[in-house]
Amino acid sequence: MPDAPSTTFDTAESWAHDADHADPIAHYRERFYIPAIHGRHAVYMTGNSLGLQPKSARDIVEQELNDWGAHAVDGHLTAEHPWLPYHEWFRGPAARLVGAKPGEVVMMNSLTVNLHLLMVSFYRPTPQRHKIVIEDDAFPSDSYAVASQIAFHGYDPATSLVRLKPREGERTLRTEDVEAYFEREGEKVALVMLGGVNYLTGQLFHMEQITRCAQKHGCVVGWDLAHAAGNVPLRLHDWGVDWAAFCTYKYLNSGPGAIAGAFVHERHANADLPRFHGWWGNDPESRFRMVKDFAPVAGAEAWQLSNPPILSLAPVRASMEIFNEVGMDALRAKSVRLTAYLEFLLGELLGDRIDVWTPTDPEQRGAQLSISVRGLSRQTQRALHEDAVVTDFREPDVIRVAPVPLYNTYHDAWTLASTLAGRLKD
Ligand SMILES: Cc1ncc(COP(=O)(O)O)c(C=O)c1O
- CATH code of the domain covering residue 80: 3.40.640.10
Give distance in angstroms: CA of 194 to centre of ligand 1. 13
Cβ contacts of residue 171 below 8 Å, gap of 6+?
Answer: 201, 203, 357
The answer to whether residues 314 and 361 belong to one domain is no
Determine the Cα–Cα distance for residues 162 and 125; give it in Å rounded to an integer.
14
* DSSP-assigned states of every residue in 205-228: P-HHHHHHHHHHTT-EEEEE-TTT
Main-chain phi, psi angles of 2, to 5 degrees? -65, 155
Ligand 1 atom closest to the Cα of residue 49 is: 14
Cβ contacts of residue 232 below 8 Å, gap of 6+?
Answer: 196, 197, 204, 332, 335, 366
The answer to whether residues 283 and 145 belong to one domain is yes
Q: Contact at 8 Å (CB) between 67 and 264? A: no
The answer to whether residues 302 and 412 belong to one domain is no
Determine, yes or no, domain membership for 41: no
Determine the Cα–Cα distance for residues 308 and 292; give it in Å rounded to an integer.
21
Give distance in angstroms: CA of 87 to centre of ligand 1. 22
The answer to whether residues 14 and 161 belong to one domain is no
The answer to whether residues 359 and 383 belong to one domain is yes
Give distance in angstroms: CA of 250 to centre of ligand 1. 10
222-264 pLDDT per residue, tens:
999 999 999 999 999 999 999 999 999 999 999 999 999 999 9
Determine the Cα–Cα distance for residues 134 and 164; give it in Å rounded to an integer.
6
291-300 pLDDT per residue, tens:
899 999 999 9
Ligand 1 atom closest to the Cα of residue 113 is: 11
Ligand 1 atom closest to the Cα of residue 198 is: 1
Residue 2: its pLDDT value, please?
Answer: 43
Which of 212, 203, 213, 206 is CA-nearest to residue 166? 203
Determine the Cα–Cα distance for residues 231 and 228; give it in Å rounded to an integer.
5
Give distance in angstroms: CA of 199 to centre of ligand 1. 9
User: How many domains in the chain?
Assistant: 2
Which of 203, 184, 189 is CA-nearest to residue 136? 203
Q: Contact at 8 Å (CB) between 94 and 244? A: no
Hey, which of 109, 115, 136, 139 would you mutate to test ligand 1's pocket, going by the most ligand atoms within 8 Å of its Cβ?
139
Give distance in angstroms: CA of 337 to centre of ligand 1. 27
Ligand 1 atom closest to the Cα of residue 260 is: 10
Question: By alpha-carbon position, which residue is closest to atom 5 of ligand 1?
Answer: 141
Question: By alpha-carbon position, which residue is closest to atom 3 of ligand 1?
Answer: 139
Residue 375: its pLDDT value, please?
Answer: 80
Main-chain phi, psi angles of 278, to 5 degrees? -145, 170
The answer to whether residues 415 and 279 belong to one domain is no
Q: C-alpha dihedral over 405, 410, 412, 413, to 10 degrees?
A: 100
Ligand 1 atom closest to the Cα of residue 138 is: 1
CATH number at residue 346: 3.90.1150.10
Which secondary structure element, helix H or strand E, spans residue 132, and what is its range?
Answer: strand 131-135
Cα–Cα separations (whole angstroms), residue 239 to 105, 115, 223, 273, 307 = 15, 19, 12, 21, 31
Determine, yes or no, domain membership for 55: no
Residue 1: its pLDDT value, please?
Answer: 40
Q: Is 370 helix (H, G, I), strand (E, B) or coil?
A: strand
Residue 3: its pLDDT value, please?
Answer: 47
The answer to whether residues 379 and 267 belong to one domain is no
Q: Is 308 helix (H, G, I), strand (E, B) or coil?
A: coil
Give distance in angstroms: CA of 426 to centre of ligand 1. 36
What is the domain range of residue 377? 6-31+327-425
Q: pLDDT (tens digit, 0 to 9) for every residue of the chain, 426 residues total?
A: 444 444 599 999 999 999 999 999 999 999 999 999 999 999 999 999 999 999 999 999 999 999 999 999 999 999 999 999 999 999 999 999 999 999 999 999 999 999 999 999 999 999 999 999 999 999 999 999 999 999 999 999 999 999 999 999 999 999 999 999 999 999 999 999 999 999 999 999 999 999 999 999 999 999 999 999 999 999 999 999 999 999 999 999 999 999 999 999 999 998 889 999 999 999 999 998 888 999 999 999 999 999 999 999 999 999 999 999 999 999 999 999 999 999 999 999 999 899 999 999 999 999 999 999 988 889 999 999 999 999 999 998 999 999 999 999 999 999 999 999 999 885
Residues with CB under 6 A from ligand 1: 110-112, 139, 141-142, 195, 199, 224, 226-227, 247
Determine the Cα–Cα distance for residues 388 and 41; give it in Å rounded to an integer.
7
Give distance in angstroms: CA of 226 to centre of ligand 1. 6
Give distance in angstroms: CA of 89 to centre of ligand 1. 24
Q: Contact at 8 Å (CB) between 299 and 108? A: no
Domain boundary among 298, 324, 350: 324
* Cα angle value 46/139/111 (rounded, 5°): 80
Determine, yes or no, domain membership for 97: yes
The answer to whether residues 174 and 89 belong to one domain is yes
